[in-house]
Amino acid sequence: MFNKRVKIRDAVQMAAGREEITVMGWVRTFRNNQFIALNDGSSNDQLQIVLELGKFDDGLLKKITTGASVKATGLLLESPGKGQKVELKASALEILGESDPEKFPLQPKKHSLEFLREIAHLRFRTNTFGAVFRLRHGLAFATHQFFQERGFIYLHTPVITATDAEGAGEMFKVTTLPFDSTPRTESGDVNFREDFFGRATNLTVSGQLEGELAAMGLGEIYTFGPTFRAENSNTARHLAEFWMIEPEMAFYDLEDNMDLAEAFVRYLIHYSLKNNRADLEFLDQRLAEEEKQKLQAERNDQGLIEKLESVANQNFQRISYTEAIDILRDSSSYKKKKFKYDVAWGIDLQSEHERYLVEKHFKKPVIVTGYPKEIKAFYMRQQEDGKTVAAMDILAPGIGEIVGGSQREERLDKLEARMREMDIPLEQMWWYLDTRRFGTVPHSGFGLGFERMVQFVSGMSNIRDVIPFPRTPKNAEF
């Protein structure tokens, strides 16, 4: 068996011993022809491999370069050096894969995140991305654990659909029709009857509608999968392909929905604080360094772990959209014309407004409810005032909207009327409307943008740095 190795995360915790162990990993640095700093991705810990001078031949030593992969066997000894408890005194060393130091793009120095994005295939070998992707994994695992503890069913919704779940028209088409001789109807439109599915299809923007169907029989479900938006937003918070967690619950009103969403976000933070502590400490340090580069006035005085603890341990602020507008109009930022976008009842909150509410006014996450129906999706429950819907968004410091959800319109007549007003094709969505025809119940759900959550917990400022291979406008490398 080849893989009889000890992971470095465990090796550095072991006591010096009498039995030899084997480790494998990638060389981070090699000093004085004697000391290898070896990392294997199990944590950011590096095991020092000590090569006795004269014991290994020059040809082998030359191949120990940054990026090379090696297998080392030897005894763990107490380390006389600083910064590590034990080190491995190698009795055998094998090069698994060489790495030409002239060509290997990762040098043992600090690289910019922008540069690392261009070599995203190699950035897993850095401390920052090691920490980020272990954290991301932890948050995914915690998501399943949270819903498992509450008896929710994990539902796999389709990636290819024929509907626009959000009604915003931001879809990537899925087709096998040829581009040069596209079949046409008599009126000159593309003839999708000849397409693979016999109709026009797209990549899903949300699993919600199918989630609702399942909740109307299974009770409480959640989806966790990729979603796609062809919106041309080149920001630090938007991806064309992102992962979303969408729970959908029968017999939940808006308040139940908010309670669940808040509990979920706080649970994820608690989980990371407990289970990804070392990586969070690394990211905390990293962020502190980054803050030092900023001007005094723009610095964040709260550290990452401090921020996470404060968010996880206190209730989120809950306000209505109308209250939010009042607060914004009363603010000195508004009076001094510091907002780029105007504030008036009916606007969609811009990220500068969301951040003002969260970071300046309340200094904690805020749940905003009761948005104007004009700026929200067709499926949201209409409120008595005739103007607003039972929507709720959670806004987080540094991120803005992290969760979007609502109580759903369960009354068939109201739902149909709204769909007609918004030009949503009713006939095509007969299956969705059937849930309101047969045994309809009050129900609710929300979507948590997974990358935005990873961004929040990791403190990374750009969403491209929390997903392995980001898809953004004009970029689909790797």
CA-based angle 319:322:323, to the nearest 5?
45
Give phi and psi for 305, each to the nearest 5: -65, -40
The CB-of-374 to ligand 4AD minimum distance in angstroms stands at 16
The CB-of-451 to ligand 4AD minimum distance in angstroms stands at 5
Does 212 engage in binding with ligand 4AD (CB under 6 A)?
no
Does 43 engage in binding with ligand 4AD (CB under 6 A)?
no
The interface region with Mg ion, picked from 28-36, 154-162, 336-344, 398-406 by CB under 5 A, is: 398-406
Q: Quick check: 441 and 251 in contact, CB under 8 A?
A: yes
Does 246 engage in binding with ligand 4AD (CB under 6 A)?
yes
What's the CA gap between 95 and 469, in Å, rounded? 29
Interacting residues of 373 by C-beta distance below 8 A, sequence separation 6+: 380, 382, 387, 388, 389, 418
Count residues contacting Mg ion (CB under 5 A)?
1
Q: Quick check: 469 and 478 in contact, CB under 8 A?
A: yes
Torsional sign, CA 175, 179, 181, 186: positive
Among 25, 138, 397, 445, binds ligand 4AD (CB under 6 A): 445
The interface region with Mg ion, picked from 57-65, 359-367, 382-390, 404-412 by CB under 5 A, is: 404-412
Count residues contacting ligand 4AD (CB under 6 A)?
21
Name which of 25 and 225 has its Cβ closer to Mg ion: 225
The CB-of-269 to ligand 4AD minimum distance in angstroms stands at 15
Pattern 316-335, ligand 4AD, x by CB under 6 A? --------------------
Give phi and psi for 231, each to the nearest 5: -95, 135
The interface region with ligand 4AD, picked from 129-137, 364-372, 413-421, 448-456 by CB under 6 A, is: 448-456
Q: Give which of Mg ion, ligand 4AD, none residue 164 binds (C-beta under 5 to 8 Å, depending on kind).
A: none
Does 357 engage in binding with ligand 4AD (CB under 6 A)?
no
Does 404 engage in binding with Mg ion (CB under 5 A)?
yes
3-state secondary structure 202-220: EECCCCHHHHHHHHHHHCE
CA-based angle 118:456:158, to the nearest 5?
75
Tokens of 455: 């961004």
Pattern 71-90, ligand 4AD, x by CB under 6 A? --------------------
Task: Compute how many other C-beta atoms are within 10 angstroms of the C-beta atom of residue 87.
Answer: 23
Q: Quick check: 211 and 223 in contact, CB under 8 A?
A: yes
Among 244, 268, 311, 366, binds ligand 4AD (CB under 6 A): 244
Name which of 106 and 377 has its Cβ closer to ligand 4AD: 377
Which residue, judged by CB position, is nearest to ligand 4AD in the bound state?
449
The CB-of-403 to Mg ion minimum distance in angstroms stands at 8
Residue where the block lists tokens 């000890």: 6
Among 401, 441, 461, 462, binds ligand 4AD (CB under 6 A): 401
Does 405 engage in binding with ligand 4AD (CB under 6 A)?
yes
What's the CA gap between 407 and 252, in Å, rounded? 8
What's the CA gap between 279 and 444, in Å, rounded? 35
The CB-of-319 to Mg ion minimum distance in angstroms stands at 17
Within positions 157 to 186, which residues make up the interface with ligand 4AD, using CB under 6 A? 165-166
Q: Quick check: 11 and 86 in contact, CB under 8 A?
A: yes
The CB-of-277 to ligand 4AD minimum distance in angstroms stands at 25
Give phi and psi for 9, each to the nearest 5: -55, -40
The DSSP-derived string for 421-441 is HTT--TGGGHHHHHHHHSS--
Task: Compute how many other C-beta atoms are within 10 angstroms of the C-beta atom of residue 64.
Answer: 21
As beta bridge partners, residue 39 has 26
Q: How far is CA 333 from CA 342, 343, 345, in A?
A: 11, 11, 17
What's the CA gap between 134 and 166, in Å, rounded? 32
The interface region with ligand 4AD, picked from 237-245, 274-282, 284-292, 294-302 by CB under 6 A, is: 237-245
Does 207 engage in binding with Mg ion (CB under 5 A)?
no
The CB-of-248 to ligand 4AD minimum distance in angstroms stands at 7
Among 206, 435, 440, 472, binds ligand 4AD (CB under 6 A): 206
Chain positions contacting ligand 4AD, by CB under 6 A:
165-166, 206, 208, 229, 238-239, 242, 244, 246, 401-405, 445-447, 449, 451-452
Chain positions contacting Mg ion, by CB under 5 A:
404
